[in-house]
């Protein structure tokens, strides 16, 4: 699927999005590794013209004034992203089927929440941060949950989306019931695929280009033709990063962290890694939090291995970042359940992180650009409370205005 040699053109059944039968979606050029993004400048057409109202003269050689003709405006453009390659669009897709919540957060940020059709699993889409942004929301109940003991192809036909915003290799390599022929079927009969798995980079099959959070965000902005809005949000992000990093303590004074998956009453922990690529850990890297598992030989993705308290105590991280998938769990609930359990455990209570009250929620697995802003602020305050007090580190009203188009 990725990096196929040559150029392959496919035609989808998207024969009309804006201009009736005069417009057709062109499909995909598969395997365009290294291709650059390109856009065709729309050709401007003249305003409608009508014949003059003046009385014609009797001269036979006089001809009527040219009335002109209306020519549909060329709105075609293309977006290139590995592993699929180049996808050509005749107009902005009005319905989009994402897979993971990081891409949904991008569409919300770009003002296209209404286009979102699907989510892999609702419980892993954290939306509490939207409550701080006036006019920004998404109705989770309206989204098709793709996961139900697998992902049936029939759901893609039922959604009938204009675009599938997901890395096709994710479904073929994660799910036993999906083959490349299934991806080809949906691409041909429904709509193209576009996307790259960005929340982690630890899968063996992900041997093609990885995109950072904002690199992927820019591709989505190109897809929905919201480059200006993307640049405005990126400016908010860049200003926040500059401000926070200018106030961090010296590197030697910054703690390390063990990023782990854990239940409400944890007896074992599944390790994740802070170092390396992965959009859901970029905010930790922004804050200079180092990886407690570096140099230990412990691998770093969900399901790789388990650690008990004894193994964790041997590493004895400065802090713990515990991921627990229950939607909407507050800090107080986390303290009263997970943290209290650690403090009551004979070995868990010996951990430096527990004794120093540096046990934090690990944040969402699928982190989009809006998540990222709130995570930078949250962990700046959690790790460095003496420097970052209760003030907001970025302007919610300004961000809301960008998203809603009222700035």
Give me the pLDDT at residue 227, please: 98
**Where in the sequence is the domain holding 356, given as residue range(s)?**
250-404
Q: How many domains is the chain partitioned into structurally?
A: 1
CATH number for the domain that contains residue 387? 3.40.50.1980
Q: Are strands 290-291 and 320-323 parallel, antiparallel or unpaired?
A: unpaired
Mean pLDDT of 384-397: 93
Establish if 400 belongs to a structural domain.
yes
- Percent with pLDDT over 70 in the chain: 80
Q: Is 402 helix (H, G, I), strand (E, B) or coil?
A: helix
Establish if 391 belongs to a structural domain.
yes
Give me the pLDDT at residue 30, please: 32
Give me the pLDDT at residue 163, please: 98
Helix axes 213-223, 227-246, angle to 10 degrees: 160
Mean pLDDT of 87-116: 97
Confidence of residue 301 (pLDDT cuts 50, 70, 90): low
Please name the residue that has the structure tokens 């005749």.
90
Establish if 354 belongs to a structural domain.
yes
Establish if 309 belongs to a structural domain.
yes
Establish if 295 belongs to a structural domain.
yes
- The Cα–Cα gap between 374 and 254 comes to 20
Q: Which residue has the higher pLDDT, 105 or 121?
A: 105
Establish if 181 belongs to a structural domain.
no
Establish if 324 belongs to a structural domain.
yes
- The Cα–Cα gap between 90 and 77 comes to 6
Mean pLDDT of 221-244: 98
Q: Which residue has the higher pLDDT, 264 or 88?
A: 88
| Segment holding 101, helix H or strand E | helix 101-109
Tens of pLDDT, residues 324-371: 755 556 788 888 888 999 999 999 999 999 999 999 999 999 999 999
The answer to whether the CB of 93 falls within 8 A of the CB of 225 is no
Mean pLDDT of 176-185: 91
Tens of pLDDT, residues 16-32: 333 232 233 333 323 33
Q: Which of 144-148, 213-217, 314-318, 340-344 has the lowest mean pLDDT?
A: 144-148
218-243: string of b/e by CB count within 10 Å (b at 16+)? bbbbbbbbbeebbebbeebbeebbee
Establish if 194 belongs to a structural domain.
no
């Amino acid at each position: 699927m990725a990096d196929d040699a040559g150029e392959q053109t496919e035609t989808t059944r998207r024969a009309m999005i804006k201009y009736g039968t005069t417009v057709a979606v062109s499909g995909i050029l598969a395997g365009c590794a290294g291709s650059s993004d390109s856009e065709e400048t729309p050709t401007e057409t003249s305003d409608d013209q009508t014949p003059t109202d003046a009385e014609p003269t009797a001269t036979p050689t006089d001809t009527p004034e040219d009335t002109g003709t209306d020519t549909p405006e060329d709105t075609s453009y293309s977006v290139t992203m590995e592993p699929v390659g180049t996808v050509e669009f005749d107009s902005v897709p009005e319905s989009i089927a994402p897979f993971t919540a990081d891409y949904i957060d991008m569409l919300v940020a770009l003002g296209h929440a209404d286009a979102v059709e699907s989510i892999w699993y609702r419980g892993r889409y954290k939306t509490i941060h939207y409550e701080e942004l006036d006019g920004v929301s998404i109705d989770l109940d309206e989204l098709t949950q793709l996961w139900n003991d697998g992902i049936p192809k029939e759901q893609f036909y039922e959604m009938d989306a204009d675009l599938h915003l997901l890395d096709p290799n994710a479904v073929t390599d994660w799910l036993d019931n999906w083959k490349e022929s299934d991806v080809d079927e949906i691409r041909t009969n429904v709509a193209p695929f576009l996307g790259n798995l960005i929340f982690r980079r630890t899968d063996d099959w992900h041997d093609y280009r990885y995109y950072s959070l904002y690199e992927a965000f820019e591709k989505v902005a190109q897809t929905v033709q919201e480059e200006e809005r993307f640049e405005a949000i990126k400016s908010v992000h860049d200003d926040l990063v500059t401000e926070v990093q200018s106030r961090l303590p010296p590197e030697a004074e910054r703690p390390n962290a063990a990023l782990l998956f854990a239940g409400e009453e944890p007896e074992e922990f599944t390790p994740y890694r802070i170092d390396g690529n992965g959009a859901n850990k970029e905010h930790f890297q922004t804050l200079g939090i180092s990886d407690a598992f570096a140099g230990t030989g412990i691998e770093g993705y969900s399901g790789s291995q388990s650690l008990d308290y004894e193994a964790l105590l041997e590493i004895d991280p400065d802090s713990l970042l515990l991921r627990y998938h229950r939607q909407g769990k507050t800090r107080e609930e986390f303290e009263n359940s997970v943290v209290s359990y650690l403090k009551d455990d004979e070995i868990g209570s010996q951990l430096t992180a527990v004794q120093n009250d540096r046990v934090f929620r690990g944040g969402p697995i699928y982190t989009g650009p809006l998540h990222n802003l709130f995570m930078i602020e949250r962990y700046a305050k959690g790790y460095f409370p003496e420097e970052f007090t209760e003030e907001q580190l970025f302007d919610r009203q300004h961000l809301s205005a960008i998203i809603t188009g009222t700035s």
